[in-house]
Amino acid sequence: MRRITLYVLVSVFTFVIGVALTTFDFFRRYAHWSDDSTITCSAIQPPQYQTIESTILKGVTSSWKFDEITTAGKENLHAIKFINANEGWVGGSNAALYKTTNTGKEWQKIPLDIPLESDILSISFVNSSTGWLVAKAEYNRSIRGYRFDHPDSVQSWLLNTTDGGKTWQTQYYEKSLDIRRVQFVDEREGWAIGSKLVKAEQEFDKDFVIRTTDGGRHWTDLSANAAGKGGGYWDSSTNILATAPSNAMTRDSVGKLYRTTNGGKSWTQVGSLPEERSEEFLGRFELTGGNRMWAVGGKYGMFGTRDMTGILARMDSGCFWRKYTVRRAYFADAAFVSENEILACGAIRDPDHNSARWDSDGLIANSTDGGANWTIVYQSSDTGFGTMTKVDSQNIWVIGTGGVIVHLQPK
């Protein structure tokens, strides 16, 4: 069986570092996320955290079962969105977009009027009828440094549907643009983020942030107001958390967290990530039911090393972080079933495997004690996992390479 490279795995963020995970993807180390904008901790000081080495338990049976299905085209899947337990969407390479209306038993392919070379990177629906997606095409990939020498080789689209996906219209298109994520708060207000490419030999691209308040008919470019030092090829901002009108949170390429409460006119730093920038990357971030932040990522074995470490960081009371590390693993995404039960997906490296340093298996793991111990739910040398979503405590979905869709449920 073929081995899955970490590059493919984490791409979903598309999700290698910078192809994504990525993903802007964070916590608010010193801010409690609430509609009244209350910041209760210092935002500028380095984050205070405790590192705890976690264990993957061997010989222990997981309490989760799974069903697996493969899309007809076996595309590499990057984006997933479920509207309810029955109705969901997945998107990926080769402009592939699929819809299910029967809890994933069958997936119907939906045609899109975009280049076949496009990747579907993000999907956002506010109800069964109205949704948006991000598509990106990259050309001249065989040319070294093409993103800087030929920035117009990268093109992005924002598409919208108002009839449940029967038809899709382009609302935004631009060359030299790498949009990674779209998120709508309601039918009118939405955000999209990514990087603006410029022709120069430089390390970082420019942050790109746009917002709409009329359902995408008009978009306001807020990039000039974006805080931080730029998206960057390896760490481009890939996630945005918007839970209320005019309110959003992002992260920059050096791990600082910013929040706006006025629709992006200004951004205030409200924290930073508990990561070592030379070694680690924490991309995915979200809120738990207790209104606290979490993020996942890790070390990914670059620069000639075979080392790989999965990281789950979560904010405890008093703005203190607990940072759980798992050796020979990488966490691309996670879902909190409850305050202490977590499912995570990503990669795991076999310590007895002696081939190239990037080789790893796709991994889905479960922790019932907040991240201290993990059991393997699913492991495969044929599939890499990069994205997951929680519909409810009984239904978790994971997508990966080769068109694989995994439905997780408690036994």
Stretch 387-396: mean pLDDT, rounded?
96
Average pLDDT, integer, range 21-27:
31
According to CATH, the topology of domain 4-410 is Methylamine Dehydrogenase; Chain H (2.130.10)
pLDDT of 16 over the 50 cut: no
| Residue 302 clears pLDDT 60, i.e. is over it | no
pLDDT at res. 146: 57
Q: Could you give the dihedral angle defined by the CA atoms of residues 362, 237, 285 and 379, in that order, rounded to the nearest 10 degrees?
A: 0
Cβ(288)–Cβ(300) under 8 Å? no
Q: Give the strand pairing for 108-109 and 97-100.
A: antiparallel
Residue 281's pLDDT band (cuts 50, 70, 90)? low
pLDDT of residue 142: 62
Which amino acid appears at position 34 of this protein?
A: S
Q: Is 89 a residue whose pLDDT tops 90?
A: yes
Q: Is there a contact between 397 and 405 (Cβ–Cβ < 8 Å)? A: yes
Two tokens at 260? Answer: 């706006």
Q: What is the mean pLDDT of residues 71-89?
A: 97
Question: Whole-angstrom Cα distance, residue 292 to residue 41?
Answer: 13
> Is pLDDT at 26 greater than 60 in this prediction?
no
User: Which has more confidence, 238 or 397?
Assistant: 397
Quick one: which of 58, 68, 9 has its CA closest to 409?
68
232 pLDDT above the threshold of 70: no
Encoded tokens for 288: 């738990």
Both tokens of 17, joined, read 């570092």
Burial of 106 (0-12, 13-18, 19+ CB in 10 A): exposed
E-strand spans in 48-205? 49-53, 55-56, 64-70, 77-82, 88-92, 97-100, 108-109, 119-125, 131-138, 154-161, 169-175, 177-184, 190-196
Sequence-distant (6+) residues with CB within 8 A of 53 are: 324, 325, 327
CB atoms within 10 A of CB 254: 15
Most confident of 238-247, 300-309, 371-380: 371-380
Say what the pTM is. Answer: 0.85
Between 17-26, 47-56, 106-115, 247-256, the lowest mean confidence (pLDDT) is in 17-26
Per-chain mean pLDDT for the chain: 80
Residue matched to tokens 């603006």: 196
For residues 124 and 133, is the Cβ–Cβ distance under 8 A? yes
C-alpha count within 13 angstroms, C-beta hemisphere, residue 215:
10
The pLDDT, as a whole number, for residue 96 is 98
194-216 pLDDT, tens digit per residue, is 888 876 555 456 788 999 999 99
> What is the reported pLDDT for 88?
98
Residues whose CB falls within 8 Å of the CB of residue 317, separated by 6 or more in sequence, listed in order:
none
Question: Residue 167's Cα: distance from chain center in Å?
Answer: 26
| pLDDT given for residue 147 in this prediction | 60
Instruction: Give the separation between CA 197 and CA 384, rounded to whole angstroms.
Output: 28
Cβ atoms within 10 Å, residue 307: 15
What is the C-alpha separation between 367 and 63, in angstroms, rounded?
A: 10
Please give the residue that has the higher pLDDT: either 347 or 319. 347
Mean pLDDT score, 113-138: 96
Structure token pair of residue 283: 């991309």
The whole-number pLDDT of residue 165 equals 97
Question: Does residue 129 carry a pLDDT above 50?
Answer: yes
Among 118, 147, 111, smallest CA distance to 135 is for: 118
Bridge partners, residue 251, by sequence: 257
**Mean pLDDT to the nearest integer, 227-237:** 45
Alpha helices in 308-410 (DSSP H): none
Q: Between 374 and 148, name the one with better pLDDT.
A: 374
Closest CA to 280 of 247, 302, 257, 248: 302
327-340: pLDDT as tens digits:
889 999 999 999 89
Which pLDDT score is estimated for 234? 36
